[in-house]
Amino acid sequence: MPIRPIVTMSGLRLGTASVAFTSIDERALALAVDLIDTMRDSPACVGLAAPQIGVELRAFSLDCSSHKKTNVCHGEFVMFNPVILALEGEDQAREGCMSVPDLTGDVPRAYSIVVEGLDVRGEPLRIESEGFEARALQHEIDHLNGLLFLDRVQSPSGLHQRRVYR
């Protein structure tokens, strides 16, 4: 499937809550492939939500296995219609986003999470995670709810210019 262009924060779709899938059909599976392929093609990307490729549906891909801060990892997966069942603890860390290419920000998030949704077979998928992967899950679910990490930065001093190394 094609690698899709990333919608940046100027894109109107990023501020809109996504629509749930009624079934995991061929359209959903094609979206799953596009999410994975686009995520894999993007350096340092650990997750990608459907709105970031211009699709207003509740789906995201995630794979934290290659990130140095990962302490819990469920490998590469796509989740449809995620629902957060539990959040615990609090942790603040810097986040970046492909849809906000020039900034990073210090974002408070829950340290642990339980999320439930559907996998690519339409079967229930439950993820219990903590640390970096829990942060990434919350970040991607925020995209599905029309939020960017910028909406969670608590003060202007929490924003940072992204350094580009060439």
Active-site residue (options: 123, 130, 133, 140): 140
The answer on pLDDT for 163 being more than 80 is no
Let me know if 140 is a catalytic residue: yes
**The overall pTM is greater than 0.85:** yes
In a domain, 7, yes or no: no
Asked if the model's pLDDT at residue 72 lies above 60, the reply is yes
Mean pLDDT computed over every residue of the chain: 90
Tell me: pLDDT of 61 over 50: yes
| pLDDT tens digits for range 99-147 | 998 888 999 999 999 999 999 999 999 999 999 999 999 999 999 999 9
The whole domain housing 140 covers: 12-161
| Domain-located, residue 115 | yes
Q: How many domains does the chain have?
A: 1
Answer for the pair 28, 1: CB distance below 8 angstroms, yes or no.
Answer: no
**Token code pair at residue 113:** 């999470």
**Cα–Cα distance measured from residue 58 to residue 65, given in angstroms and rounded to the nearest whole number:** 23
Q: What percent of the chain has pLDDT over 90?
A: 71
Q: How far is the C-alpha of 20 from the C-alpha of 58, rounded, in Å?
A: 5
Is 141 a domain residue? yes
Residue 67: inside a domain, yes or no?
yes
Contact yes or no for 133/72 (Cβ under 8 A): yes
Task: Confirm whether 150 is domain-assigned.
Answer: yes
Contact between 53 and 5 (Cβ < 8 Å): yes
Q: Give the contacts of 156 (CB within 8 A, at least 6 positions apart).
A: none
Which value, to the nearest 10 degrees, does the dihedral of the CA atoms of residues 149, 136, 100, 11 take? -80
> Helix H segments across 42-149?
131-144
CB-facing half-sphere around the CA of 31: CA atoms within 13 A: 26
Identify whether 3 is part of a domain. Answer: no
Domain annotation covers residue 48: yes
What mean pLDDT do residues 78-94 have?
97
The verdict on residue 2 lying in a domain is no
Q: Which of 51, 60, 47, 39 is nearest to 133 (CA)?
A: 47
Which CATH number characterizes residue 109's domain?
Answer: 3.90.45.10
